Structure 1
Amino acid sequence: MKKAVILSLLTVLTWGCSKDGFSNQNPYLPNYGFSMEVNTNLPSYNSLLFTGNSVRVYPVNGPTNGVIVFNTGSTYNAFDGSCPNQNITSCSKLTLSSSNAHCECEGENYNLFNGQTTGKPYGLKQYRVQVNGNIITVYN
């Protein structure tokens, strides 16, 4: 009996956790497998060099409404460009305004510093980011 409990616990710990503790599961938004590079030396992405600026990028095989990349001042955040608390529809594309992303369908503003809003079960779907010089790599 003791061996079965220990084996069950080890199985849960091994399979129940991701390698780096990162989870972006959302029942309304698909899990796209993609990787993209954003070069802030290029004019279309140069605004990302400044805190509080964001751009929308459409990676190959990525989210339908693109990926929002945002400069927090100390790092970069990357979020799915769709409203996180509903299925993807014609009105679910987030619009960017300063340090917020607005969902017209929900009438909600999401903070791009943390991806959160109040009173909703899901914040913005976040993607992994790595920075190497002027290259920002976003991936899922």
Structure 2
Amino acid sequence: MKKIITLFVAIIAILSCSDDDVRIRNQFLPSYSVNVEVNLNLPLYSDLNYAGNAVLINQGNAGINGIILFNTGSGFLAWEATCPNQIPTTCSRLEFSEPIATCPCDDVEYSLFTGLPTVTMQYGLLQYRTEVNGNVVRIYN
């Protein structure tokens, strides 16, 4: 009887597992490889030393229209600087005034804390991973 219960519990545990591939692929944004390092000691990024500040990074492999790196006070969040609910065009680079990013094409606002739009839309901001090592923030996907 113990073997049957153990087998039953194991089957339920295996079937209830899910993976990280459940994310909905954004049909508007192409998938580019991103791997950027930001040195917070450089004057260009000095605003990032304070909570609530964001900087546009537009160097090397920095996404489609750049990356918005945001200091939340407890860490860093990196967002694609392209409007997520339309095909990239000349007006699709997000403009930001902390803690809100705005798409100039349709005036939709997104929170830099959550990446979510302030109105109902299909997609939120595309997030990149961040890793902090001393005074260097690595942004990658």
TM-score range with shorter-chain normalisation? 0.7 to 0.9
User: Which protein has the bigger helix share?
Assistant: 2
Aligned positions of 1:1-140 closer than 5 A: 17-18=19-20, 23=23, 25-117=25-117, 118-140=119-141
Does the Cα contact within 8 Å between 1:24 and 1:127 map onto a contact in 2?
no
- Aligned positions, number: 127
Distance in 1 separating the partners of 2:24 and 2:136: 23
Question: Whose Rg is larger?
Answer: 2
Identity fraction in percent: 43
CA apart distance, 1:22: 8.8
Kindly tell me: are residues 54 and 37 of structure 1, through their superposed partners in 2, closer, same or farther at Cα, counting changes over 3 Å? Answer: same
List runs of 5+ in structure 1 lacking aligned partners.
1-5
- Cα distance in 2 for residues equivalent to 1:107 and 1:69: 21
**What is the root-mean-square deviation of aligned Cα atoms in Å?**
2.1
Over residues 39-86 of structure 1, what are the superposed CA-to-partner deviations in whole Å (9 max), with x where a residue is unaligned?
Answer: 100000011010110011124233231000000010100000000000
C-alpha deviation, 1:133, in angstroms: 1.3
Partner in structure 2 of residue 3 of structure 1: none
Is the partner of 2:70 in helix, strand or coil?
strand
What residue ranges of structure 2 are gaps of 5+ in the alignment? 1-10
Give TM-score scaled by structure 2 length. 0.81
Length-normalised TM-score, structure 1: 0.82
